[in-house]
Amino acid sequence: MTSATDNVHAARDHARIMAGTKVEAMPIVPASASDVDGDVLWEETVEAGGYTSRRLGRGSRLRLVDLHGDSCASMLIFNAECPTERLNVADTLKVQWTAYLGTGKLLLSDMGRVMMSILEDEAGTHDAFCGASNESSNARLYGDGKNYGSHSNARDRFKLAVSKYGLGRKDIHPCINWFKGVEIAENGSIEPNTGPFQAGRSVVLRAEMDLIVIFANCPHVLDSRADYSVTPLRLTAWRGDVTPDDDPIRNATPEGLRAYLNTEDYFRR
């Protein structure tokens, strides 16, 4: 009996005929996006349970879209040229005297610098406290949590992503979960708000340094639904100017301004 792939020529033809297939979750190469102005650098839709990473230049804008209202965009950030510098969630909250992230807030590194700023936030439900799901939490909730299964967890997604930059488990730092919210009650209780939400909510970030950004898109660790509930996440980046001296976000608070001054000092070269 013969098959369509019983010799190398037929196997090659069979493989090549798949080219051009379009699915919802995939990178677009070369990057293009009809719904943003400017020079598009990155366009990718991350599947439910998936992950991705990217190097972004200083000044780049990065838009996150919760396409169907149930994304959980868990994010790590590294200084691309010196990845021992990374997002510090504790400093990000403490320095800005806030428990919650939103428009105008900064994402700070552990070296006293601003890594990203939040230009637009139409979601308002984010979480800087609960971190990533892990294999045991997913196994408890869904029966399994391994990367090769259908219930992947955010921490192990991070592990794969950071490995591609020569980084390892010890580089996985506390993360931010975009689109899934928590509120902190007076007694310290964490009240999760994991949706689902209206489709199409977005956040736009500005890279203030040359960065490696890492995303996992897995259910929030406190999502109470019995099913593994998460939907695709769209990421779009485009070229932009480095933040000017008169930028209102740069000048909004004395602490934030000093973070910008430290970043600008770092790039004085």
Partner 1 sequence: MSDKQIAGLAGRIIHDEIVPARAPWIHEVKAGQTLRIVDLEGNQAVDFLMYAVQDDTERYSAQDTLAAQRNIFLRKGAVLLSNEARPMMTITDTNVDYHDTIGGACSCESNTLRYGHHTKSHHSCVDNFLDANASAGRNKRDMVSNINFFMNVPVEADGTLGIVDGISAPGLMVDLRAEMDVVVVVSNCPQINNPCNGFNPTPVRMVVAG
Kindly list the residues in this chain that would bind partner 1 in the complex (CB under 8 A). 84, 88-91, 93-95, 97-100, 108, 110-113, 129-132, 134-137, 155, 168-175, 184, 186-190, 192, 221-222, 255-256, 258-259, 262
Question: Are residues 232 and 147 in contact, defined by beta-carbon separation less than 8 angstroms?
Answer: no
> Minimal distance in Å, beta carbon 49 to partner 1?
19
Give the C-alpha distances (Å, rounded to integers) separating 198 from 30, 70, 122, 244: 30, 8, 11, 34
> Minimal distance in Å, beta carbon 23 to partner 1?
32
Angle at Cα 163 formed by Cα 88 and Cα 180, nearest 5°?
Answer: 45
Report CA dihedral (30, 33, 39, 43) to the nearest 10 degrees: -60
Which of these, 190, 201, 208, 181, lies nearest to 267 by C-alpha position?
A: 208
Q: How far apart are CA 109 and CA 99, in angstroms?
A: 17
Q: Give the residues across from 74 on adjacent strands.
A: 177, 216
Closest CB to partner 1 among residues 175, 233: 175
Closest CB to partner 1 among residues 14, 140: 140
Closest CB to partner 1 among residues 27, 149: 149
> Minimal distance in Å, beta carbon 57 to partner 1?
23
> Minimal distance in Å, beta carbon 73 to partner 1?
16
